[in-house]
Amino acid sequence: MAADPRFHPIAAPQSLRAILAAVRGEAAGDPERLFQGLAALDQAGPDELTFIDSPKLAPALAATRAGAVLLRDEMAARAPAGAVLIAVANPQLAFARAVALFHPQRVPAATRHPTAVIAPDADVADDAIIGPYAVIGAGAVVGAGCAIGPHAVVGDGVVLGPRCVIHAHACISHALCGEGVVLHPGARVGQEGFGFLADEAGRFVTKPQLGRVILGDFAQVGANACIDRGTLDDTVIGPHTRLDNLVQIGHNARTGMGCIMAGQSGLSGSVTLEDRVVLGGQVGVADHVRLGRGARIAAQSGIMVDVAPGVEMFGTPAQPIRMAMREISTLRRLAATPRAKQDTKE
């Protein structure tokens, strides 16, 4: 099914020449041939572009009616006659570039809705978009090309670099943001960390939370994700890091460049992720643990000790994934063994 134009405006039909330039691919065919849009492999028609990225989909490739297909060279022999075959190194990445060609993002005009509340001393760029009932606090800085959605809150003193997007109902305080930072709807950034002490009477006293949140260039924070500010040091999210929906980042945690955290994963206080660490869904990391560059943690794992660079871990407590798989396989074999044979072995 093609994209619904009510939500994703469609650009004019695109020539094969324009597509090849956008996706950085090569193909034989009429460079002026026009294509109307994009569609899935099994749904595309003769005037649409699609892609294939897995040999498992070879039967669907053979049956596709698509006018053009993004694929790797080794898949070309399985394609139907008549389709324009566009050779690329990474079909999914190429398709993403094609999407940007056929469905360019809307660029709304700069507006400040009359219901927005903007502090008199806030520094808001002239071309910023400020939506209905948004709040911009005292001393805040909103850079060029920023967009602040309906009911979003940019707290006192917050700095947003150029082209940041704060979606509806997100709020950010005690934070400094680089270029192109995105907070998706309902994200919460800069609130107090989860830290407290008991006084002489057994009542809880919240620890001082005097740090900030630093969001690097092009970091993205998913819907309803939460990032606590630091206690005395800062909480830092590295450039190009992506946090999925419902992610929790504790106070003083730090991520390097290009880290990925899938939904419902969380970092306890003072955790460090070096560059390009990947956490699967529902992964939990105990406080003060360090994960080395390029470490990968499988879904629902619990990390309680440091992880060396490049290591893949699984389980709770987590261990190297091959070891974990061997243990699981051994347990399955034992469970399938009749009790009499087990007794004999004992």
List of domains in the chain:
14-102 (3.40.1390.10), 117-322 (2.160.10.10)
pLDDT at 22: 97
pLDDT (0 to 100) of residue 108: 79
The per-residue pLDDT for 112 is 95
- The predicted pLDDT at position 344 comes to 58
Q: Which amino acid is at 131?
A: G
Q: How far apart are the two ends of the chain, measured CA to CA in Å?
A: 60
Q: Are strands 312-314 and 296-297 parallel, antiparallel or unpaired?
A: parallel
Q: Residue 270: left if φ>0, alpha if ψ -120 to 50, beta else—which one? A: left
Annotated catalytic residue: which of 167, 174, 240, 251? 251
Would you state the pLDDT for residue 8?
87
pLDDT value at position 10? 86
Three-state SS for 226? Answer: strand
Stretches where the chain sits below pLDDT 70 are 1, 339-346
251 catalytic? Reply is yes
Give dist(CA 193, CA 185) in Å, integer. 21
Contact in structure between 277 and 310 (CB atoms under 8 Å):
no
Q: Residue 82: what pLDDT?
A: 87
Q: For tokens 């899938």, name the residue.
A: 262
> Residue 334 corresponds to which amino acid?
L
Question: What pLDDT score was predicted for residue 341?
Answer: 59
CA nearest 212: which of 247, 244, 253? 253
Q: What is the pLDDT of residue 102?
A: 95
Question: Whole-prediction pTM value?
Answer: 0.89
- Burial environment of residue 183 by CB neighbours within 10 A (0 to 12, 13 to 18, 19 or more): buried
